[in-house]
Amino acid sequence: MSFHSDQEMRTRLQNTAPLTREEVKDLFPWIRGMLEGDLRILQAHIALLTMQCLDENKEAIERFNRSSTRLTWAIIALTLVYTAVAIWQLVRT
């Protein structure tokens, strides 16, 4: 949603619903004309979006960590199996 007037921009900032990422981007051209109160509201919305992004990144890192741990254990198991087979082949000959 792009804003076409100062009043439209201020009305959206006064709305208590969180701004979307797109709305925050659309507000950047209006920053020069914002009042101090408008800027504080925008900063609060940006802080909220930043916290949400950090939570998403944290969850992604935790999922990656779990999957890489499983992969590491699978590689260790395969290494042990291949080592056992190699030793068995040496002993057998």
- What does the pLDDT read at residue 1? 61
| Size of the chain, expressed as the number of residues it contains | 93
Percent of the chain with pLDDT over 70: 99
| Residue 81 belongs to a domain | no
Taking only the tens place, the pLDDT of each residue in 26-61 is 999 999 989 999 999 999 999 999 999 999 999 999
Q: Classify residue 22: in a domain, yes or no.
A: yes
Cβ proximity of 15 and 41 under 8 Å: no
Q: Distances in Å between the alpha carbon of 83 and those of 23, 71, 75?
A: 58, 18, 12
Q: In terms of residue numbers, what domain contains 46? A: 6-68
Domain count of the fold of the chain: 1
> What distance lies between CA 60 and its chain's CA centroid?
7
Phi, psi of 46 (to 5 degrees): -65, -40
Q: Is the pTM of this model over 0.85?
A: no
The whole-number pLDDT of residue 93 equals 77
> What local confidence, expressed as pLDDT, does residue 65 receive?
96
Q: CB of 26 within 8 A of CB of 54?
A: no
Asked whether residue 62 is assigned to any structural domain, the reply reads yes
Q: Is residue 79 part of a domain?
A: no
- Residue 50: inside a domain: yes
- Give the pLDDT score at 81: 97
The token pair at 71 is 């992969």
Computed over every residue of the chain, the mean pLDDT equals 93
Q: What is the pLDDT at residue 2?
A: 82
Query: Would residue 90 count as lying in a domain?
Result: no
